[in-house]
A = this chain, B = another copy of it.
Amino acid sequence: MTRASVVGVGMTTFGVHDQPLPELFGQAALDAIDDAGVMPGDIDSFYFGNAMGGQTENDTHLAPTLATEIGLAGIEAQRFEDACATSANAFKNAVEAVDAGIHDTVLVGGVERCTPETGKGTGAMTEIFASASHRQYEQPTGLTFPGVFALLTKRHMHDYGTTERQLAHVAVKNHYNGTNNPRAHFGTETTVEAVLDSPIVADPFHLMDCCPFSDGAAAVIVTSDDVADSYDEPVDVTGVGQATGRVPLGLKSDIHATQPARDATATAYEQADTTAEAVDFAEVHDCFTGAEILASEAIGFFEDGDGGPAAEAGRTAADGDRPINPSGGLKAKGHPIGATGVSQIVELTEQLRGDAGARQLDDPTRGLAHNLGGDAATTVISVLEVRG
């Protein structure tokens, strides 16, 4: 069952940008509008994601400012913030709105600047990212975001025998995929040895296990199923699930299950009337290599504990049987927080249209996006399909 359709996509390169947030977002949004061929007057509402503009740039209340920049002043608009799941949550709310008939056509997008262009260095950004962990029960320990996923991954390694080498294979694969993506932050290959030789950030994660700080923007035009027919290349959204989980970490039953991802996946598969087996590829939230392993299990691509060996065996490569992150993922494509969720929708759309250029997979018909926030306590899962 089609819940909504994506009829236009736009995205800046991810990397280092010195433009203000409104202009950076404007590039992606105008590209999405042009790609769809939508008349601005036909856009009913603006679902916007930005995670940390207040902290990094003293810039809030951005929705009306961005709308003005792209000629949509006056439009209904709302800004979402759900840590790294920010713009996927905007997307989920937009899909629900057009599915329920609240709107016919909406603009969904996100923007973020995380590089030193904001004036903030690694220590300050590490502190800002830590704001997504529990203020009272986690931040005072000095826990960082690499540290959060390190805790989950170390327990996964203990329980299943996942190795640092397997983690490194995730980075190697995603860097390779990034070389085929002209919008990727990193366009160079790496090796298992280079990953393992890079300095430790939070063990078991080396620097090369971590996604970069990136600047960038992504936008999509979402319409209702019936309106979609009037557009050239609609791609259908057949399921969107979202769930939260317990915070802080000490309250979770099984820390590496990333239970919200499992709950959201179950919802999305049920809506789409599909199963993991029938999903051809996925874009998952590989903020750290270990996060991709956990995600590959949570979305049902592999049994629990098989994620590490599968990565090492090349099963998640673009030419493997379970491709994950053909875009390069957060690791190589980059991770401008509030833009990441929608950038996954852009990648799914381009792959399903057959428009993905050098990184095009072999005729996929169904893709999944997995975007998480915080310690995965917010996770959004979206299933997109070639229009039937």
Contacts and interface: CB of A to CB of B under 8 A. Distances in A.
Contacts of A52: 54, 60
B101 A64 contact: no
A97 B100 CA distance: 8
A67 interface: yes
The dominant DSSP class at the A interface is: mixed
Contact of A60 (B20, B74, B81): B81
A140 B59 CA distance: 12
Given A54-B52, A373-B61, A242 B76 contact: yes
A77 B259 CA distance: 15
Contact of A67 (B57, B78, B97, B244): B244
Contact of A54 (B20, B54, B373, B374): B54
B81 A79 contact: yes
- Interchain residue pairs A-B with the least CB separation, the first 6: A100-B100, A61-B83, A64-B377, A61-B132, A64-B244, A59-B135
Interface in A196-249: 242-248
25 contacts: A54-B54, A54-B55, A54-B131, A55-B58, A58-B127, A58-B131, A61-B82, A61-B83, A61-B131, A61-B132, A61-B378, A64-B245, A64-B246, A64-B378, A65-B134, A73-B251, A74-B245, A74-B259, A74-B260, A74-B263, A76-B244, A77-B82, A78-B89, A97-B100, A100-B100
Given A61-B83, A102-B100, A73 B131 contact: no
A342 interface: no
Interface residues of A, number: 63
A324 B77 CA distance: 27
Given A58-B128, A78-B82, A96 B102 contact: yes
A226 to B, nearest CB: 16
A122 interface: no
A259 B74 CA distance: 9
Nearest to A103: B96
A130 interface: yes
B63 A378 contact: yes
Contacts of A302: none
A58 B52 CA distance: 10
A102 B92 CA distance: 12
Contact of A82 (B79, B101, B373): B79
B100 A68 contact: no
Contact of A93 (B57, B78, B127, B136): B78
Interface in A76-111: 76-83, 89, 92-93, 96-97, 99-102
A157 interface: no
A242 B83 CA distance: 25
A188 interface: no
